[in-house]
Amino acid sequence: MTQRRRSWPFSAILLAVFGVALVCIGAFFMFVRPPLLPEDMRFIGVSLEQLQAAQPRIASWLERVFQVLGGYAIASGVLTVTIAATSFRRHERIAVPGVLAAGVASIGWMVVVNFLIGSDFRWVLLAVAILWAASVCMFVIEIRQAAMRAGGIR
């Protein structure tokens, strides 16, 4: 049995790249990110020495918290790539509400919070969020173009 290979629409490619970016963000949180960044100390308003004197186990606790967060980001990225390779690639409309909700709750909220706290990473995260938003916009455009080619907008 021969199966025709379906090409990857641009929306699915963008969503897959976004998913890979989430995996990279997760790996950063799990394996690279120190418990406290200079921006954390600026936001808190105390020195690292003061914080460690008052809460000697804070760094150890934060390391675990960020490992868990990283794991969730990696899982989200893997699932996003899977959606890109299946539902988005086939232009199944049911994928849009899920991708919208997941994007708003994950990268959308992450960007908002990072701008609120003046994070050094806010612009990088905004670029990642733009990948997500562009994938959804392209999906809608592709669906409309396909409907027009088929003889009418649905």
Q: What pLDDT tens digit does each residue of the chain (154 aa) get?
A: 445 567 999 999 999 999 999 999 999 999 999 999 989 989 989 888 898 889 889 999 999 999 999 999 999 999 999 999 999 999 999 999 999 999 999 999 999 999 999 999 999 999 999 999 999 999 999 999 988 888 765 5
Cα separation, 111 vs 18, in Å, equals 14
- Nearest in space to 111 (alpha carbons), one of 89, 131, 129: 129
Cα separation, 122 vs 34, in Å, equals 17
Q: What angle do CA 148, 5, 86 make, to 5 degrees?
A: 75
Residue pair 153/26 in contact (Cβ under 8 Å)? The answer is no
pTM for this model (two decimals):
0.89
